[in-house]
Amino acid sequence: MNNDSEAVFLRKAHAIFMASVGALDDNVRTRLREARRSAVAVTIKPHPRFWLTGPWVLPAGAMAILVVAALGTFIWSDRMSQSVVPFATRHHVDADIVLSKDNLDMYADMDFYRWLQTQKQQHNGVKDQSGANRNG
């Protein structure tokens, strides 16, 4: 029967093919094994977290960066404006002096007056010591 002979032919073709598969050398088998492992490793990579993916991540990140930048700018400008405030107004004792129109010149020389005070104290200290030496 034609079908029987065809079936025999096809079985023989399959058997010859499988025999050639069995005759593969070790080098080829090793390379195939390595290729398979590399391919399978792709499926084991960690699954990305939902909140790190998605189309909303980029706009949300950009908005966050803008908010931080605006906050930083506000704080920096606030500090800069504080730094030009006269030294005297940082101390409540000198507030009346600064606010008084007549004494603005005195504010400008505040450091001078402090130095003067220091010199006076040192001078008084030296005078006391020399007086004590004369008497003693």
**Positions in the binding site for another protein (CB under 8 A):** 6, 9-10, 12-14, 16-17, 19-21, 23-25, 27-29, 31-33, 35-47, 49-50
Nearer Cβ to another protein (28/93): 28
- What is the distance between the alpha carbons of residues 110 and 94, in angstroms, rounded to a whole number? 10
Of 20 and 130, CB closest to another protein: 20
Residue 4 Cβ, how far from another protein at the closest point, in Å?
13
Distance CA 20, CA 12 (A): 12
CB of 1 to another protein, least distance (A): 14
Q: Tell me which long-range contacts 124-130 makes (C-beta under 8 A, separation of at least 24).
A: none
Question: How many helices (H) does the chain have, and how many strands (E)?
Answer: 6, 0
CB of 5 to another protein, least distance (A): 8
Identify which of 117, 94, 118, 115 has the alpha carbon closest to the alpha carbon of residue 106: 94
| Min dist. Cβ of residue 2 to another protein (A) | 10
Q: Which is nearer to another protein, 24 or 67 (CB)?
A: 24
Return the number of the residue (28 or 132) whose C-beta is nearest another protein: 28
Asked if residues 116 and 125 have their Cβ atoms less than 8 Å apart, the reply is no
Is the CB of 47 or the CB of 101 nearer to another protein? 47
Answer for the pair 108, 86: CB distance below 8 angstroms, yes or no: no
**To the nearest whole angstrom, how small is the minimum distance from the Cβ of residue 20 to another protein?**
5
